Structure 1
Amino acid sequence: MMKFARLLICLILAAFVLAGCGKQPRKPQAMLDTPQHHVEVGLAKLDKGAPHQAQASFDTALELDPEYGPALAGKGIALAAIGDWDSARDYVDDGLGEAEGDGQELFANVAAIRAATWAARNGELSGEDLLDDSEDAWNEGMELVEDNRELDPAALNYYRGEACLQALNLDCSEAMFSRVISATPANPQYAERAEARWRAVQMIRRAALKTSVGVRIALTEQITRADMAALLVEELDIGRFYEKTAPAGSEYMDARTADPTATLEITDIANHPLRADIEAVTSYGVRGLQPFHGGLFKPDVPLSKAEGAMILEDIIVRASGDDSLATRYIGRESPFVDVRPDQPYFNAVMLVTTRGLLATNARQGRFDPLAPLSGAEAALAVSALKTELNAW
């Protein structure tokens, strides 16, 4: 009996020793070395599209306080963005469980919506489940806001709107973004972003896109070469304009194609989800979307407005069968302060702007040729072009 008692005491002491040897919270090294600050840095990294760096910031916050709710929930967002949905859910749940006060609990509900949205983008969550999960988190967050009027629901509404957009529910997203915009006073951190997304929804509605692929591409802030290929194939049915027409003259071709002699097999799209659309546009020889030297298509390279104009120009020329359109504006003065008549995309810019396919900044007399071409701009242009071409 005495031996058993001594053994029990030893085990208890050993347990205390092991507990004392566990990793202890790190002491702050500077004034801004706080969990709150590192969470703010992590959120900024997420906004810049750097989830791995964001995760590192949240981990730094957890070194200082392993039970800090916003750091746990924030890490959940980063993990979801990286593609680890299972771990992401656990961290978001832990963040909600460790939340101290209504503010941190609201933060965790927003994190739940953001993490689920990333999971849907990565194909780990269906659109239907995303709508359900984000609605649950939104309802919980709104209950907090109704009970505590000092809480700002801007982030909750904005990210619920993003979740609805990801699930292609335009009515829901429009309503959420409208809440952010019309709030009094409006939160400047989210009001401008919500207005931009609200406008994108309106553009998508006007574009009357017929496929979910088209709608999803229209939601992107900057369209890629692969995205444009999909828009042209899925929404415009571009093949009907190219299969019966010959390419324009060599002078026109040499001025606008990435590699006019490229006949190599494309080597960088084998596992790309839009491979079929890319192969279609390259087989048609759509200028501006031809392979580069070495057989590379570079599907994820973003397009500028000038590049988009040249692609649209080629479609107009081929569909109309009028090669003179390729040089119609050469030698004329430019109405834009940022597009010179000697630039290779001058004629294309003039052709598409006179037809209203791409917008200009009329007040400043600018076209912004090097600005990113957004998915909404491209979708509207393709929709307008479809209407024009159907009349020919």
Structure 2
Amino acid sequence: MHRKHRSLIPIFTLLLLVACATAPESDVDTPEYHFKAGMRAIDNADYQQAIKSFQRSVDLDKKFALGYGGLGLAHAYLEQNGQAKDYASKCASRGSKDPEALALSGQIWITMRDSEKKWFKRASSHLKKALKRDEAHEGAMYWSGVAHLYNYQFDEAEDYFRKVVNKRGDYAGKADAKWKLAQKIVRAMPGTPAGKKMALKEKINRADLAVLFAEELKIGVLFDRMPVQNTGFQTPGQATQTANVTVPNDAINHWAETWIKDMIRYGIMDIEPDGNFYPDDTINRALYALAVQRLLVVATRDESIETQYFGEAQSRFSDVPSSHFAYNAMALCTERGIMQVDMMTRKFNPAGDVTGADALLIIRELQTSLRMTF
């Protein structure tokens, strides 16, 4: 008698689970449909709506692994890491044989990379399991590339993205953009931890530029090698090396204060008349060209560089008049191959943002121009 009752327990449990599931209200009221709707909301950064869609998917099917993964992803974007990790675990356990679910669990951990120290280990574990299930799984390959990219393993990332692009599937477009970024970073050869982090920035600011000049260009080494002149022309750096550096009001206790002081000491970047440095202001291409010009003047001790292209009747660029305040700097940088123009349109795009990867490439060209070997 007791055996009969025990044998009925799993059946009762199954019936209870089924009873707890929400009944669909239409033909499109399915877990799969709501999951796709949730992912569209994620793409639109509407994370609350995404949570509603993903929750509906698991309400309809308590075993729907992707629904839990979607919930984890939405909470990860909302920086609610505790819930994100719980849902990532549920997604991976319920979808342990599904490479799509395992790849989604990896994506959740990648999204938490700025706040979770072990994000790469956790993401890689899920993604490796996904690829073990299906070595040609496009999503798992793409997110493996993303994981390696954000872990500063640029060669490995490039390899994953290349494979995804060659598959010409749903991820090909996104993978192509990431592949080009990885290729650019590999060419730029960031040589410092700071440079590797900056390489991934979509746009840099004045503080970032100070760090890149100090760390990647090794500006301190450059000026240490320059003999101090007692008479005649002195670089701004030589003129200020014995003086106390005034720290700009808005650079005091700023994360980049040390590097900002270096740039001011060497005369590469200035304090504004109001006493501020504006470290968080975005650097555009025209301002970057001006910074490069200033550095070349200091490094070569040739003040004529700053007026070399003044007075040109015909502008070299289709989108910049020769009267532009940064025209000389732009002409200088393009003439020396330090910065590039669009070959088809001859546009310089002076107001365009400078990405971290582009900033590094410009520094490499600047090093070549200065014949720097250190």
Is the Cα contact below 8 Å between 2:318 and 2:347 reproduced in 1? yes
Please say if 1:380 is aligned against 2:373. no
Q: Report matched runs for 1:144-293 at 5 Å.
A: 144-145=133-134, 153-183=137-167, 186-187=168-169, 190-240=171-221, 245-247=234-236, 265-267=248-250, 270=253, 272=255, 274-287=256-269, 290=271, 293=274
Instruction: Give the gaps of 5 or more residues in structure 1.
Output: 1-15, 147-151, 249-261
Is the Cα contact below 8 Å between 1:204 and 1:218 reproduced in 2? yes
* Cα gap change, 1:335 to 1:296, in 2 (>3 Å): closer
Is the Cα contact below 8 Å between 2:34 and 2:54 reproduced in 1? yes
RMSD: 3.5
- Residue number in structure 1 paired with 2:70: 74
- Residue number in structure 2 paired with 1:142: 131
Q: Distance in 2 between matches of 1:338 and 1:383?
A: 26
The partner residue of 2:292 within 312, 318, 329 is: 312
Give the Å deviation of 1:42: 2.9
- Residue number in structure 1 paired with 2:43: 44
The one-letter amino acid paired with 2:190 is L
Give the Å deviation of 1:173: 0.7
Instruction: Give the gaps of 5 or more residues in structure 2.
Output: 1-15, 229-233, 238-244
Please say if 1:323 is aligned against 2:315. no
Q: 1:249-295: per-residue Cα shift (whole Å, max 9, x none)? A: xxxxxxxxxxxxx96633366253x34223322443423x6457463
Q: Report matched runs for 1:366-377 at 5 Å.
A: 366-377=347-358
Please say if 1:115 is aligned against 2:115. no
**How many corresponding residue pairs?**
334
Q: 1:74-131: per-residue Cα shift (whole Å, max 9, x none)? A: 33234334444333211112233455x97xx434323322222233333x224xx61x
Q: Distance in 1 between matches of 2:273 and 2:51?
A: 42
Give the Å deviation of 1:326: 0.9
| More off after superposition, 113-122 vs 338-347 | 113-122
Secondary structure of residue in 2 paired with 1:120: coil
The one-letter amino acid paired with 2:69 is A
Q: Distance in 2 between matches of 1:191 and 1:232?
A: 35
Please say if 1:362 is aligned against 2:343. yes
Q: 1:228-255: per-residue Cα shift (whole Å, max 9, x none)? A: 221111111223556864349xxxxxxx
* Cα gap change, 1:319 to 1:163, in 2 (>3 Å): same
The one-letter amino acid paired with 2:130 is G
Is the Cα contact below 8 Å between 2:54 and 2:70 reproduced in 1? no
Is the Cα contact below 8 Å between 1:313 and 1:351 reproduced in 2? yes
- Residue number in structure 2 paired with 1:95: 91
Q: Distance in 2 between matches of 1:362 and 1:238?
A: 31
Q: Distance in 1 between matches of 2:149 and 2:55?
A: 35
Give the Å deviation of 1:339: 1.5
Q: 1:154-206: per-residue Cα shift (whole Å, max 9, x none)? A: 332222111111212223212101111211xx02x532332333233333333
Identity %: 24
Is the Cα contact below 8 Å between 2:35 and 2:54 reproduced in 1? no
Secondary structure of residue in 2 paired with 1:267: helix
